[in-house]
Amino acid sequence: MKKRVFLSATALVAMSLPSLSALAQSNTFKIGLILPMTGQQASTGRQVEAGVRLYMAQNGGTVAGKKIELIVKDDTSLPDVTKRLAQELVVNDKVNVLAGFGITPSALATAPIATQSKTPEVVMAAATSSITEASPYIVRTSFTLPQVSVALADWAPKNGITKVVTLVSDYGPGIDAEKYFKERLTFNGGRVIDSLRVPLRNPDFAPFLQKVRDENPDALFVFVPSGAGAAVMKQFLERGMGKAGIRLIATGDVTDDDQLNDMGNGALGVVTSHHYSAAHPSAMNKKFVAAFGAANKGMRPNFMAVGGYDGMHVIYEALKKTKGQGGGDALLAAMKGQIFESPRGPIYIDAQTRDIVQNVYLRKVEKVDGQLYNVEFDVIKDVKDPGKSKK
């Protein structure tokens, strides 16, 4: 088993390069979609896959003469499993593109395989700034935590919030969110009086929130991965922190569209910053939300779904541009610089960084037609990843 998992780089290249030649003759274009379909991040996998399948249903199963084959693998959010699955998809299944990746460690574990085999890796969910720097074959269609954290740090002091405690999950995206929020708030004249980090797996927020209450800041800034926001909201309300005058502000992961209605009226008024809301008022998004619900028993799409949907757009357009004949390098070149309208608004793939450039919205939880939504009230246009623009 170990031999199979830890193929050497040389063996991987030797086995994969002939496959690229063979692929040029094949009428099938294979996409290996690696996601957490079980475990703590299962909601991420469910949303991304649903977005991917909706795009395929709307745009056909054959592109540039190639039949699209989607191979879905469950990595349970364990990076060692992700790495093994990526190796198997490249070597055994001979995929043309690797895609998905629910969390940052999974995307990073695949990066060397993408580089060695020259296979484009389309990151549809993970959001640590540095991911695209781990391999020249990585393209991102999700977002970065610095993109959305800076926007909120600009908004806060203009709205009476100058003394803040930050609480983030203790891994790459959380550390990015904490760092960029603190730097920007301080620049704007505010203060972060404490920075708390909770474990990524099976976190107990209670002792951390009690500490926040004791410190009595103007607001608590939170980042937790998709699926964990409901627990934060529940415990924040149970401790009466809002009634004590402590405001909850967060990246949009906390008021995840997939879970927002289950949080109840206690979530009303929470301000977040993010790149996608199911309530985004464009005609394209309204069609997207309706089609997504119709295809998935009324499920509401969240930012993970739109990352998968747009990731498939990037792959389809690259395949069209290369007329179905391109290997990894040609596909990658065709992905760079793409500009298109997404359900989230206008986006493009920066040709230099291979990262996404997009609008970031400030939103407030409001009740619309009896349901809770993240209603946008301001927008910062064409935001590049601050993690790269500083270099």
Q: Is residue 5 part of a domain?
A: no
Q: Is residue 43 part of a domain?
A: yes
Give mean pLDDT, residues 31-42.
94
**Three-state DSSP state, 1:** coil
Q: Is residue 265 part of a domain?
A: yes
363 to 241, 255, 343, 376: CA distances (angstroms): 21, 10, 16, 4
Is 299 found in the same domain as 168?
no
Give mean pLDDT, residues 217-239.
92
Is 365 found in the same domain as 350?
no
Give mean pLDDT, residues 367-371.
96
Note the pLDDT tens digit of each residue in 276-332: 999 999 999 999 999 999 999 989 999 999 999 999 999 999 999 999 987 999 999
Domain count, the chain: 2
> How far is the C-alpha of 341 from the C-alpha of 353, rounded, in Å?
20
| Per-residue confidence (pLDDT) for residue 14, from 0 to 100 | 46
Is 138 found in the same domain as 70?
yes
Give mean pLDDT, residues 109-115.
98
If we measure between CA atoms, which residue out of 317, 332, 336 comes closest to residue 20? 332
| Per-residue confidence (pLDDT) for residue 17, from 0 to 100 | 46
Identify whether the C-beta of residue 301 lies closer than 8 Å to the C-beta of residue 289.
yes
Is 57 found in the same domain as 194?
no
Note the pLDDT tens digit of each residue in 120-161: 999 999 999 999 999 999 999 999 999 999 999 999 999 999
**What residue type is assigned to position 321 of the chain?**
K
Residue 70: is its pLDDT beyond 70? yes
Residue 2: is its pLDDT beyond 60? no
> How far is the C-alpha of 349 from the C-alpha of 123, rounded, in Å?
12
List the domain range (segments joined by +) for residue 195.
Answer: 146-274+360-383
Is 268 found in the same domain as 287?
no
Write out the two tokens for 49: 């896959």
Is 370 found in the same domain as 303?
no
Average pLDDT, the chain: 92
Q: Is residue 7 part of a domain?
A: no
Give mean pLDDT, residues 150-175.
96
What's the whole-model pTM score? Answer: 0.91
Write out the two tokens for 254: 């906390």
pLDDT tier for residue 34 given thresholds of 50, 70 and 90: very high
Q: Is residue 75 part of a domain?
A: yes
> Which CATH number is 69's domain given?
3.40.50.2300
Identify whether the C-beta of residue 23 lies closer than 8 Å to the C-beta of residue 94.
yes
- Positive or negative, the Cα torsion across 193, 199, 200, 202? negative
Residue 16: is its pLDDT beyond 60? no
Q: Is residue 17 part of a domain?
A: no
Identify whether the C-beta of residue 132 lies closer than 8 Å to the C-beta of residue 141.
no
Is 205 found in the same domain as 86?
no
> How far is the C-alpha of 272 from the C-alpha of 221, rounded, in Å?
9
Q: Is residue 84 part of a domain?
A: yes
Beta-carbon contacts of residue 266 (< 8 Å; ≥ 6 apart):
233, 237, 242
| Per-residue confidence (pLDDT) for residue 143, from 0 to 100 | 97
| Per-residue confidence (pLDDT) for residue 388, from 0 to 100 | 81
Residue 79: is its pLDDT beyond 50? yes
| Per-residue confidence (pLDDT) for residue 5, from 0 to 100 | 40
| Per-residue confidence (pLDDT) for residue 227, from 0 to 100 | 79
Is 252 found in the same domain as 115?
no
Residue 363: is its pLDDT beyond 50? yes
| Per-residue confidence (pLDDT) for residue 125, from 0 to 100 | 97
Q: Is residue 59 part of a domain?
A: yes
Give mean pLDDT, residues 173-188.
97
| Per-residue confidence (pLDDT) for residue 24, from 0 to 100 | 46
Residue in this structure with the two tokens 């989230």, named with its chain if needed? 344
